[in-house]
Amino acid sequence: MSTIYTHRDANIRKTWALMSVFFIVIIALGWAFRVAYNAPEVLYVAVFISIFMNFASYWWSDKIALAVSGARAVEKSEAPDLYNVVENLSITAGLPIPRVYVIDDPAPNAFATGRDPAHAAVAVTTGLLATLERSELEGVIAHELSHIGNRDILVATVVVVLVGLIALLSDLFLRMSHFGGRRRDSGGGRAHAFLLIAAILLAILSPIIGKLIQLAISRKREFLADASGALLTRYPEGLASALRKISAYGRPMVRANHATAHLFIASPFGAEGFTGFMNRIFSTHPPAEERIKALLGEHRV
């Protein structure tokens, strides 16, 4: 039978699996371009970057995610109500009190990040603080604290760095193929052309592989965090009401980013027009309507 504890252990194993897949993808990219250009240094650089970024993604990915989102640290005197909610619910959940950040953005949203409960942070937008009532804010913070307690943030935060770097390196290698394709051509003929085409295809497919890694983060983690948060506050209606308001806003966040989208309680891209439709297809979040029904007991997840 699955429990919060088995879910937590599974997320730790999933983190190591994601790091391993990332390592393999980067090495494959480096090897393909090393062969295509007869440049051993490309493979050495790829190995170094892979090892370094695996290390960095574990230790510093929370800082990167906060910086990308434009979050700023706030003191208790700046946001006393927010701090009180975070402190009270953290004590109730038996968790260390996370660092508190605010994002200057009118779109109501929030996320948690960090490698473990002792190094966690919670960030909320100014729009969330302006839109939600106390009970609704408690529901959102309880949801984010549940992600921390369930170790969801370990997987989700590491993915931010890994997916972003895969996209960056694939773009770099594609630029190499465009500007340096003739420099290394020493008459290898068809074999060289084939390897170069294979390397370019791999560079094109790598961001797709990265996106699949991101989508590997199960949507069930959101349902689990909703359920855990509702148990924490003993008031599921608060989170359900918050989800209604967040989903009703519709417009994207100012600094919406695909690398960090899965961290937020709701998609930072909104849900309007073609872009909204495409983001729902590739979203790691289940529809707000399903989450609300689950919270209010209208169907089982």
Give the β-pairing of 120-125 and 110-114.
antiparallel
* Residue 138 annotated among the catalytic residues of the structure: no
Q: Which of 136, 138, 144, 222 is catalytic?
A: 144
Would you say 159 and 262 are in contact if contact means Cβ atoms under 8 Å apart? yes
Q: Which residues are catalytic?
A: 144
